[in-house]
Amino acid sequence: MAGAKKGLVLLDFWVSPFGQRCRIALAEKGIPYEYSEQELLGAKSDLLLRSNPVHKKIPVLLHDGRPVCESLVILNYLEEAFPDASPKLLPADDAYARAQARFWAAYSDKVYEVGTRLWKLKGEPQAQARAEIVQVLRNLDGELGERSFFGGEAFGFVDVALVPFVPWLPSYERYGEFSVEGIAPRLAAWARRCAERDSVAKSFHPPEKVDEFINLLKKTYGIE
Amino acid sequence: MEKSSSENAIPPAAAPLKLFGSWASSYTHRVQLALRLKGLEFDYVEEDLGNKSAELLRHNPVHKKVPVLVHGGRALPESDIILQYLDDAWPETRQLLPADAFDRALARFWCHFADDKLGPAVGAVFASTGEDQGAAVRQVHDNLALLEAELRDGAFRGRRFFGGDEVGLLDIVLGCGSYWLAVFEDVTGVRLVDADAFPRFHAWLRDFEALDEVRETIPAVDRLLEYARGLRHMLLGLAGAAAAPSSDAGPTAAAAPAAAAADIAVDI
């Protein structure tokens, strides 16, 4: 692309867990990039609208000016476009393990999807969301089992995909009146283990900030 | 999915393939088509979605849906994951995803678009009437316009198929569902793919449907029509019941036909 900025630019929003997936993967792999904070609640930038005309959402990874959109697409892209960067987040030579990783990474989206319904809704629909998120967390706990990470011994694709939702869990716990420690203790231990990693710690915002942001969104949507 | 332990041997590519599916499910058709395109033999098990087998539920405990592909005893759910698995496990067969990393990202992006935006929009046209349907039709047209633009002067310009000269992952995902467009047009009386408004999409769909492997995979149109008529009748009947006054009936009752539709998999 003529005149396009060389290298990597990540269009992102500070509290976005989907953006954090990309930041964590880039940090784990030691790939340099420029972070570009986007205005989302006000007017979106021309660059964002041009780069993701279909959804107008972040994250967008610009590589020499060419946009890659959607967090899991970006994670796969980083694996494939930077084959020499290590660690590999997906197992290189086990097709079934790769498929499992893709399945659980996609499944992890449900934490945010259902969690959002939990704080947006009231009454019966909220109760339904609560039941669902408890099931989702139990499923994730079961899949993790006794392993250190979803990737096995090493922090991998599913860990990167899921860990950004950890700072949102205290809010979900409050709205849903449950405790992750109580319903998914192995997942809770995994969350603490991941938070010790540099790449994760550096991208995280404290749960209080996340909760503040949820309140801001509620005001914006006119929710009590 | 079953956990794979390092002690389990990776099944040889030659290990048997068994596909659990449903004859009207476009997601099932995706996998059948991909297997045919790759020349891979498989056994097929037709699932009664109203009475799912214990074996299916064992293989897909999280989502309990078709399709599920079982390879050497190990289960793979979710059509888009199955298709990528087929590329990975049989690298010597024709690859569904392109080789270039950026092109792969584009294919994946538009596959999500098909599943998250276009598919549900078409489903909404099918499950509604009147003004609601009008709004849903506009949504479908907006989505088709985006694809038309990519074919005209965007990422896929000048190509016969989204995959290039031959069909690839995106063709399979979009195609195995797009045949429903004509069926829905017939059943609802609503025009969705206007050849004048979407000439390239229309041409692509025609070329896709003409392929031998596609004709072997997609059921006869009269069967699809019969099925679709019955389903729309049921969906509209349930929606009518949900419209009855009751503060709680709304969201949960409306969710029931949507859930039924998703399960029966009238999806793009």
CA distance B246 to B232: 24
Neighbours of B113 (CB within 10 A): 22
Query: Do the beta carbons of residue B117 and residue B180 sit within 8 Å?
Result: no
Write out chain B's pLDDT in tens, 268 residues: 655 444 445 556 779 999 999 999 999 999 999 999 999 999 999 999 999 999 999 999 999 999 999 999 999 999 999 999 999 999 999 999 999 999 999 999 999 999 999 999 999 998 898 999 999 999 999 999 999 999 999 999 999 999 999 999 999 999 998 888 889 899 888 889 999 999 999 999 999 999 999 999 999 989 999 999 998 888 888 766 554 444 433 333 333 444 444 433 333 3
Query: Could you report the per-residue pLDDT of A125-142, keeping only the tens digit for each?
Result: 999 999 999 999 999 999
pLDDT in tens, chain A (224 residues): 556 788 999 999 999 999 999 999 999 999 999 999 999 988 999 999 999 999 999 999 999 999 999 999 999 999 999 999 999 999 988 999 999 999 999 999 999 999 999 999 999 999 999 999 999 999 999 999 999 999 899 999 999 999 999 999 999 999 999 999 999 999 999 999 999 999 999 999 999 999 999 999 999 888 87
Query: Which amino acid type is present at position A205?
Result: H
Q: What pLDDT is stored for residue B209 in this prediction? A: 94
| Neighbouring C-alpha atoms within 13 Å toward the C-beta of A202 | 10
Tell if the CB–CB gap between B74 and A96 is shorter than 8 Å.
yes
pLDDT of residue B244: 43
Close Cβ partners of B268 (under 8 Å, ≥ 6 residues apart): B26, B114, B115, B118, B119, B122, B123, B174, B177, B178, B180, B181
Q: Using CB atoms within 10 Å of the CB of residue A132, give its burial: 0 to 12 exposed, 13 to 18 middle, 19+ buried.
A: middle
SS (H, E, C) B152-168: HHCCCCCCCECCECCCC
Tell me the C-alpha distance between B195 and A110, whole Å.
38
Q: In which element (H, E) is residue A166 found?
A: none
CA A172/CA A137 separation, integer angstroms? 11
What is the rounded CA–CA span in Å between residue A30 and residue A45?
Answer: 28
Whether residue B221 lies within 8 A of chain A, CB to CB, comes out as no
Q: Tell me, what's the pLDDT at B267?
A: 36
CA distance B102 to B104: 5
Task: Identify whether the C-beta of residue A200 lies closer than 8 Å to the C-beta of residue A162.
Answer: no
Q: Which residue(s) pair with B76 in the sheet?
A: B69
CB count in 10 Å sphere of residue B5: 6
C-alpha–C-alpha distance, residues B185 and B213, integer Å: 24
Q: Give the integer Cα–Cα distance in Å for B69 and A140.
A: 22
Q: How far is A208 from chain B (nearest CA, A)?
A: 32
Give the span between the Cα atoms of B143 and B119, in whole angstroms: 10
Mutation target among B69, B97, B106 for the A interface, most CBs of A within 10 A: B106
CA distance A189 to B231: 46
Distance CA A12, CA A205 (A): 14
Which residue among B85, B102, B108 sits closest to A99, beta carbon to beta carbon?
Answer: B85
Task: Report the pLDDT value the prediction gives residue B247, as an integer from 0 to 100.
Answer: 41
* B185: nearest Cα among B133, B220, B146: B133
Q: What is the DSSP string of B218-238?
A: SPPHHHHHHHHHHHHHHHHHH
B interface mutation test: which of A52, A54, A61, A137 has the most B CBs within 10 A? A54
| Contacts with B252 from chain A: Cβ below 8 Å | 124-125, 128
Look up the pTM and report it. 0.91
Torsion of the alpha carbons at A131, A137, A138 and A141, rounded to the nearest 10: 180
**Is the CB of residue A97 less than 8 Å away from at least one CB of chain B?**
yes
**C-beta separation of B265 from B28 below 8 A:** yes
| Residue partners of A108: CB distance under 8 A and separation at least 6 | A140, A158, A161, A162, A165
State whether residue A5 sits within 8 Å of chain B by CB: no
Strands A60-63, A34-37: pairing is unpaired
Cβ-defined contact of A99 to B248 (cutoff 8 Å): no
Residue B161 is predicted with a pLDDT of 97
Helix (H, G, I), strand (E, B) or coil at B43: strand
